[in-house]
Amino acid sequence: MFKIMLSTMLAMMVPTALMMLCMLISKKSTMNREKMSPFECGFDPKSSARLPFSIQFFLIAVLFLIFDVEIAMILPMMITMKISNIMTWTMTTVTFLMILIMGLIYEWKNNMLEWS
């Protein structure tokens, strides 16, 4: 019991001490308009450096990443199929795929995949 309490206290104290140390030694910078403006070889900027970003494009990119990670997780499942219990393997795979398919159906029904 004592070891658990000691480990918990240590796990709380080390990050807190590191955060305090970082706040003490970090460089303080004041934000002013000149420093925040984009620099183009000494000339005034021709256009805004902060262009609007398409939320729809962002959602499609996140979906791609999710399904890309899904493929990276499913491929090793094929290798482990030989050495694991077939029932456990099947239930794990089906549960994983069903969660992803239900998420895709939810996005499809709410027209999140429409590019307009």
- What are 23-53's pLDDT values in tens digits? 888 877 677 777 776 666 666 666 666 677 7
Q: Is 31 left (phi over 0), alpha (psi -120 to 50) or beta?
A: beta
The whole-model pTM stands at 0.47
Cβ neighbour number for residue 96 with a 10 Å cutoff: 14
- Cα–Cα distance measured from residue 77 to residue 82, given in angstroms and rounded to the nearest whole number: 9
The alpha-carbon radius of gyration of the chain (Å, integer) is: 25
Supply φ then ψ for residue 40, to 5 degrees. Answer: -125, 80
Residue 113: which of 64, 66, 56 has the closest Cα? 56
* pLDDT value for 42: 63
Tens digit of each residue's pLDDT (9 = 90 or more) over 72-114 = 888 888 888 888 888 988 898 899 889 888 988 988 898 877 7
Residue 70: which of 98, 91, 107 has the closest Cα? 98
- Cα–Cα distance measured from residue 116 to residue 114, given in angstroms and rounded to the nearest whole number: 6
